Structure 1
């Protein structure tokens, strides 16, 4: 087949010109929910001047910044109080600069609640797809990379949600400290069907779903897709369980539904947020193996934030987690103020190439922000998009 001729020189020039126009103004907006404020940052290729202007449309929905004949616009994460006829002109910093930073205070409207997010699903919780409530005996699970079948329809008769990590310890605590009932630590007084070291019994034909995939223990082995050889989970030698990582799967809940998967960064955000809830910390040391000297340190700085950026292809705002991250050889090191903060650190293990995926997604998310906002002290700053209710809505 004859290939169409391409003017490489003009094509490259056009691409370069488009990139230059895109980079002329980089607009980024965060909705700071707790203080009812829009935080706005703009990166320019030349310093601002008296002709640089920022306005919000009369309906309170669109932010536009104009500088030296170039214009950039984004849809705001939440509408400001609209005006009936004219745009709202914002006050910019007086000192000329290539990096502009300013804020807009929001006026809370009656019935608006926590800011009336336009997506309508701001519940503050961590949305987790593919729970036992939506999976059926006809569910089919495939490798998301090569579409090979991992679990056939009818293989799992019943799906159950696993309790969170440490369930036995929490039950032990509840039995010992049950409110409004006398209790004693004497032996033999309370008969329980479990101990703090209990494990859930496995049943043939029963599948269990969890928010976190297994960290893996000594003797466990990876589960490889027979076609593409991707590590899709772990086989637990101690229990005989096959743990599949949702990150690497595609799922169809019945024969008439299409096979669906979700974006990698959303699964990674879900994983971090679940670990934060379970371990009760926001700071983590992430490693692949217990003896790894090189680790990834994470700080879930803002778990839930709505963001608009001129670098996002979609005109809609997105729901993200803001994460500070750095590579280090010594997880105990730290002389800066953030590292010196008296906050506990949790631990998280990732399998196979998941560590590389996480770093790549954090770096990509950081590109939604202006260059000046991508670093804080010796930390990198990234964004991971979160699941929303629309991701798990029936199709």
Structure 2
């Protein structure tokens, strides 16, 4: 008989650890005890024993627990106030921002390691402001500029202050780099039709790397498509490569949206790019006409989890989601922040959530009828 499926989550607001256990035949454990380390439960099914690792130590008045499939245990107050938990729970700075990069930094295709941005090509890295900055200017000013007819020109900030890619300068967004096309090697352009954002691809393996940002006279290279070279211009040695998983980049983007919009629910649709002005996908179909999307609820942006597949504590974003496939469902959401991901990434995101959902104990897979449970590993 295989080991039971389990999922444990720290609930930081109420300082508890939620535990869900599911055996293959739905059997309730014959006995459950707290391990002396208080970091695990010892679960017995007859003569068979297994251990369930917890995301944090717990405090329990008794070493023996009543046999059950679910538990709510008090997280150790001593541990929560200790430095070890602070390291795990504190907001981690998103990697590869301008302060982390230097002229020695290089980037390769994550799929085939072909050099895309050579060392020494970019002399200066600058962080980009939020993509909503021009819209916020309209709110910050008490006295907006007016034209000669007396009409407000607040809506023209984005045109006046548009961001343009510069030669040998890398502009850094949490999700992408904005560069001049001539500063990139081994890239090609995949035509997608008139008035559409063209796709930047790796010339060697044809993997999509980003899009052409015609408005900014440059290209957006998505961070999840790249590996960072950790070598040095001073030494002619094989350089190590640093990269992160797609779930980590997606969870960082959700956290970024929560921080910058004050919202927790978003509609994720397939489109040319994140927050693209054109909202077009590579098939030539306008995204506005595609009646599909993922309704995402960021339920807990920062938690710790342990699970059957990975018993060590993992930083995660807990989400609920709904797959929407009709115009009526999309219209029923009302006024909601819409986020566009390249179609290939949108499809991978959907598959990722489905895989995570099926790996959970059955009682955690759905909530309130129409919501499916899921989570994303985060930085």
Q: TM-score range by the shorter chain?
A: 0.7 to 0.9
Q: Is the CA contact (8 Å cut-off) linking 1:58 and 1:82 kept in structure 2? A: no
Query: Could you list the runs of 5+ residues in structure 1 that have no partner in the other structure?
Result: 1-19, 94-99, 178-183, 388-395
The superposition leaves residues 280-299 of structure 1 with CA deviations (integer Å, 9 ceiling, x where unpaired) of: 32222222242212222222
Instruction: State which of 294, 299, 305 in structure 1 corresponds to 2:303.
Output: 305
Superposed displacement of residue 169, structure 1: 2.9
1:209 aligns with 2:201: no
Superposed displacement of residue 140, structure 1: 1.0
Instruction: State which of 29, 36, 44 in structure 2 corresponds to 1:66.
Output: 44
In structure 1, the residue matched to 2:325 is: 329
> Aligned partners of 1:375 and 1:185: how far apart in 2?
48
1:318 aligns with 2:314: yes
In structure 1, the residue matched to 2:89 is: 122
More moved, 222-231 vs 371-380: 371-380
- Where in structure 2 are the equivalents of 1:148-297 lying within 5 Å? 148-174=114-140, 176-177=141-142, 184=143, 187=146, 195-197=157-159, 198-213=161-176, 218-255=195-232, 257-289=239-271, 290=287, 291-297=289-295
The aligned length equals: 335
> Aligned partners of 1:285 and 1:64: how far apart in 2?
41
Return the index of the structure with the highest Cα Rg.
1
The alignment's TM-score, normalised by the length of structure 1, stands at: 0.76
- Where in structure 2 are the equivalents of 1:316-395 lying within 5 Å? 316-330=312-326, 332-333=328-329, 345-376=336-367, 377-387=369-379
The superposition leaves residues 189-221 of structure 1 with CA deviations (integer Å, 9 ceiling, x where unpaired) of: xxx9x824431243211101101349x994321
> Aligned partners of 1:249 and 1:278: how far apart in 2?
25
Which secondary structure does the structure 1 equivalent of 2:215 belong to? coil
Q: Is the CA contact (8 Å cut-off) linking 1:135 and 1:253 kept in structure 2? A: no
Which secondary structure does the structure 2 equivalent of 1:120 belong to? helix
> Aligned partners of 1:221 and 1:241: how far apart in 2?
11
Superposed displacement of residue 385, structure 1: 0.5
RMSD between aligned residues: 3.1
Superposed displacement of residue 332, structure 1: 4.8
In structure 1, the residue matched to 2:186 is: none
The superposition leaves residues 222-261 of structure 1 with CA deviations (integer Å, 9 ceiling, x where unpaired) of: 1011011111001112221110000110111442651111
Which secondary structure does the structure 2 equivalent of 1:274 belong to? helix
In structure 2, the residue matched to 1:146 is: 112
Which secondary structure does the structure 2 equivalent of 1:60 belong to? coil
In structure 1, the residue matched to 2:100 is: 134
> Aligned partners of 1:319 and 1:70: how far apart in 2?
30
Distance 1:231 1:46, change over 3 A: closer
Which secondary structure does the structure 1 equivalent of 2:329 belong to? coil
1:103 aligns with 2:72: yes
Which secondary structure does the structure 2 equivalent of 1:35 belong to? coil
Which secondary structure does the structure 2 equivalent of 1:34 belong to? coil
Superposed displacement of residue 187, structure 1: 4.8
Distance 1:185 1:166, change over 3 A: closer
> Aligned partners of 2:352 and 2:244: how far apart in 1?
14
In structure 2, the residue matched to 1:5 is: none
Distance 1:91 1:117, change over 3 A: farther
Q: Is the CA contact (8 Å cut-off) linking 1:212 and 1:274 kept in structure 2? A: no
Superposed displacement of residue 58, structure 1: 1.7
